Structure formats: structure tokens, C-alpha cells
Structure 1
Amino acid sequence: MDAHENEYAAAVAGMQETYGRPTNLPAVGDFVSGTTCGKRWSGYVMSAEPGRLAVECGGAWIAVSPEDITH
């Protein structure tokens, strides 16, 4: 990373700390990505309920917490 990328990453982290994460769950069919227990994942939401999402990741489904979503 160069200095500009570091500055951008710090600004995004500061905004997230100040404003928090979105409180709305993603809709079924939305593309999401995140980290759970140190493992990165990405895929499409197959079902969404409070506290848990089912995400299809290349043929496998995983259950993730909404707090694990980073994108």
C-alpha cells in the first residue's frame, strides 16, 4: 500500500467506528462478503433472518452472523 491507500483505509475505518455498521439485513439475492472466525468468504444471500444469514459460496452454504459482513 502506498501513502494514499493507507490514508483511505484509515478514513474508512474511522467512519465505520464513528457511524457503525448498517443495521439493515441484506436482501435475498444480494452479494455479500465478510470474515467469520478468521476465514474470508463471499457469495449470495439465500435466506436472511435476524441474527443469521445463509450465504451460498460456490456450491456450499454457510450460516453467518450479520456482524461478520464487511461488504
Structure 2
Amino acid sequence: MNDAHHAEYLGAVAGFRESAGWHDTQNTTPAVGDFVSGITAGKHWSGHIEWFSDDDATVVVNVDHAWVRVPVKDITH
């Protein structure tokens, strides 16, 4: 990769981090409809958030037309 392409890539990554800031800090809970992924009990998963539990400790993720309840703390992306 040449320097110009590398600089453009780094700029794009920095811009993405600004627009999706909760991924860096994990202080803000993601919203319904957000695409997330993570690892729970050694299993990788990814999908869109459908709803939150009453205590906001877990979310239900639509994983290719199936639903998985996972802890919010397990979200990595």
C-alpha cells in the first residue's frame, strides 16, 4: 500500500470511529436496529438488535432470522 492510500485508509477508519463512538468507549448503550457482533460462551454471533431486556443487561439480536439473547457486555463491535 502506498503512502497516499494508507493515509486515506487511516482517515476513513478515524471517521468511522467518530461516527460510531460507542464502540471505543462502551459507555453508551447501542440502540435498537444497530448491527452488533460479539462472543458469548465462546460462540461468535452478529446481527441487528431487536429489543432490550427490562433491566438493559441483555439484548435480543436477530441473527439471520433467529433470535439470540446476549449480555450487553459481550458486544465487541
State the TM bucket, normalised to the shorter chain: 0.5 to 0.7
**Percent of aligned positions that are identical:** 44
> How many residue pairs end up in the alignment?
52
Compare the two structures and name the one with the higher strand fraction: 1
For the aligned residue pairs, the C-alpha RMSD in angstroms reads: 1.5
Q: Is the 8 A contact 1:51 1:65 kept in 2?
A: yes
Distance 2:25 2:38 in 1: 13
Compute the TM-score of the two structures, normalised by the length of structure 2: 0.62
Task: Tell me the alpha carbon deviations over residues 11-50 of structure 1, each in whole angstroms, 9 at most, x when there is no partner.
Answer: xxxxxxxxx8512211000000000000000000001241
Runs of 4+ in 1 over 4 A off after TM superposition: none
In structure 1, runs of 5+ residues without a counterpart are 1-19
Name which one, 1 or 2, has greater alpha-carbon Rg. Answer: 2
User: Does structure 2 retain, via aligned residues, the 8 Å contact 1:53–1:63?
Assistant: yes
- Structure 2 residue identity aligned to 1:53: V
Q: Is 1:43 matched up with 2:28?
A: no
Q: TM-score, length-normalised on structure 1? A: 0.67
